[in-house]
Amino acid sequence: MNRIATLLQQRLLGWYDRQRRDLPWRTTTDPYRLWVAETLCQQTQAARAAAYYTRFLERFPTVAVLAVADLTEVLKLWEGLGYYQRARRLHEAARLVCRQHGGILPRTAAAWRLLPGVGHYTAAAVASMAFGEPVAAVDGNVRRVLARLAAADIGDSLPRQMTVVRAMAQALVAGTRPGDVNQALMELGATVCRPRRPRCADCPLAAACTARQDAVIDRYPLRSPRKLRPVRPFVCLLVQCGDRRLVVRRTTTTLLSDLWEFPTDARRDGEDDRAAAERHLGELGLTAQHVQPGPALTHDFTHFRQQLQSFWVEVATPNDLIDVDALWTTPDRLEALPLTKVTRRFWHLWSEREAALGRLTAERSRSFAPEFRPASSGGGQ
Ligand code: SF4
């Protein structure tokens, strides 16, 4: 390792030993626990992932327990975090480890990468933290820190940024504590070298940071030009039959597969929202007594924005549905299902509406209640 890398590493580790947050996976070198933690932390802030980590490991303490679990239960524990494909792949990989490797987890980053859902970053993070392999784990936080440090060298070149950042990260993990170096860089990016308003005065690497010296921090890391996210209109049917609500299971070939949702469909060319809602009711084989517009929501996926118009629908009979896995369920049971995020948001609005209607009914019945009049105005008992 060259002299500058050694100096940076010492400062980084010194800072990490003093300042790191108390996160539940920081006290373990168990590869299963670290794998779960790193999977949870993808696309999710560490503080938020921490609560899920504890609950997940209470229910699935080992890879063997996870491997025999029902996917629905795994998805339920993941609910609210989004990016459900992570949970599905984790479950699938646990099964593969138990089926093909006797439940023994890999020891090297290269072997980790053979598991479903495990990319360069997760493989390097787990192998370095659990087994001390000197491999760099470069996530968005690490890229930001290193790109700012090396801004003068990177200039305006995106390919050069990738090469420089990788080489720096790899140089820094040489030595006895590769897992801690990886964690320290992630921690620095998450807490000090933040995307906006970095806390440079608290940064252990400030003396070496060329973006700071040249006052160009906001330019780094360089990004590829953003594509505009297309907006796609959908209708969502909030169907009720007495105390039952209708939910359907998404098929295994779609986005968010195996999660439950209120019946939802894309609006087709030439349709307005109501026409799309009525068409979808017909496709499901439902005859509605009342259909009226409900709340609208938008939900962002990575590659498109979903614009949803809901409809309150009342039906007289909870009949079988055509071509879908459907459930007429009570509110309590609905709460226990793994739901899509949009369905949970609509359910929240639905519950609020019902509470408001309940209050209104109670107020009305109070205002129409006969006044109490004493049987005789002057008599005592
Ligand atoms: S000095 Fe500021 S911009 Fe540079 S690495 Fe540290 S926190 Fe980031």
* pTM across the whole model: 0.72
Amino acid found at 301? F
Atom of ligand 1 nearest to the CA of 144: 8
Q: What was the pLDDT predicted at 43?
A: 82
Ligand 1 pocket test target in 200, 214, 219, 220 with most atoms within 8 Å of CB: 200
Reference 241, options 294, 319, 296, 293; nearest CA is 319
Place of tokens 């879908």: 324
Q: How many CA atoms lie within 13 A of 312 on its CB side?
A: 10
Residues with a CB atom less than 6 Å from ligand 1: 145, 148-149, 192-193, 198, 200, 203, 205-206, 209, 211-212, 217
Tell how far the Cα of 1 is from the centroid of ligand 1, in angstroms: 22
Cα separation, 206 vs 209, whole angstroms: 5
Decide if 39 contacts 117 (C-beta within 8 A). yes
Integer Cα distance of 31 and 37 in angstroms? 10
Could you identify the atom of ligand 1 that is nearest to the CA of residue 204? 6
d(CA 249, CA 140): 34
Report residues of the chain scoring pLDDT below 50: 368-381
pLDDT (0 to 100) of residue 381? 33
Q: How many CB atoms lie within 10 A of CB 255?
A: 13
Residue 95 CB-density burial (10 A; 0-12 exposed, 13-18 middle, 19+ buried): middle
**Structure confidence at residue 227 (pLDDT):** 78
Residue nearest to atom 1 of ligand 1 (CA): 206
Show the DSSP H helices in the chain as ranges: 3-19, 31-41, 46-59, 63-68, 71-78, 85-101, 109-112, 120-131, 140-149, 151-154, 158-172, 178-191, 210-213, 273-284, 331-336, 341-368
The string of pLDDT tens digits covering residues 243-277 is: 899 999 987 666 677 789 999 999 999 999 999 99
Nearest-angstrom CA–CA distance, 273 and 266: 10
Question: What pLDDT is attached to residue 193?
Answer: 98
CA–centroid distance for 104 within its chain: 28
Map out the domains of the chain with their CATH numbers.
Answer: 3-219 (1.10.340.30), 231-364 (3.90.79.10)
Per-residue pLDDT at 354: 83
How far, rounded to the nearest angstrom, does the alpha carbon of residue 140 sit from its chain's CA centroid? Answer: 16
Closest of 67, 61, 53 to residue 116, by C-alpha: 67
Task: Name the closest-CA residue to atom 5, ligand 1.
Answer: 145
Residues annotated as part of the active site: 38
